[in-house]
Amino acid sequence: MIGWSVALGVLGVSLSALLAGRYRAILPVGEADRCWLIGLFGLFPAWLVAIWGLLGTGNMDSPSYTPPRALIISSAAALIGVIVSDYFKRRFAAGDRTLSPAASWLLGLAALVPAWAVALWNLR
């Protein structure tokens, strides 16, 4: 599962970088939010595969099944990462400054890195 997740991570980051680069050429001024979303979706498939791997570590047929702690921590880290990165993106835009599309893409990408790292660490 780790191999698939890392492969999807590398592929997702590469494809999202290409897409953000192409989108930046046609991007209207002040529309860097879409590059944030592209960056966010760059690591999402890799994180999702790692989460599915964590789901397989317990006995889900048991009536007293509790999900692994790593699954809950990774999901919480993903949610917190998206909220915090969106907060910084909005705060930067509220100060009459423009966030470059590349910085916006990196901010979206960085939102899921901690969650993905937690999931991969616990899959080993």
Please state, rounded to an integer, the average pLDDT across all residues of the chain.
87
Residue owning tokens 């209207």: 28
CA distance 10 to 67: 28
pLDDT in tens, 42-80: 999 999 999 998 887 656 667 777 778 899 999 999 999
CA distance 108 to 110: 5
**pLDDT tier, 18 (very low <50, low <70, confident <90, very high otherwise):** very high
Question: So what's the pLDDT on residue 38?
Answer: 92
The C-alpha angle with vertex 28 and arms to 105 and 101, in degrees rounded to 5, equals 15
DSSP assignment of 78-104 equals: HHHHHHHHHHHHHHHHHTT----HHHH
Count the domains in the chain: 1
Decide which of 34 and 111 is more confident: 111
Print the domain residue range for 80.
2-123
**pLDDT tier, 6 (very low <50, low <70, confident <90, very high otherwise):** very high
Question: So what's the pLDDT on residue 77?
Answer: 96
Question: So what's the pLDDT on residue 14?
Answer: 96
The amino acid present at 86, given as its one-letter code, is D
Is residue 104 within 8 Å of residue 32, measured between CB atoms? yes
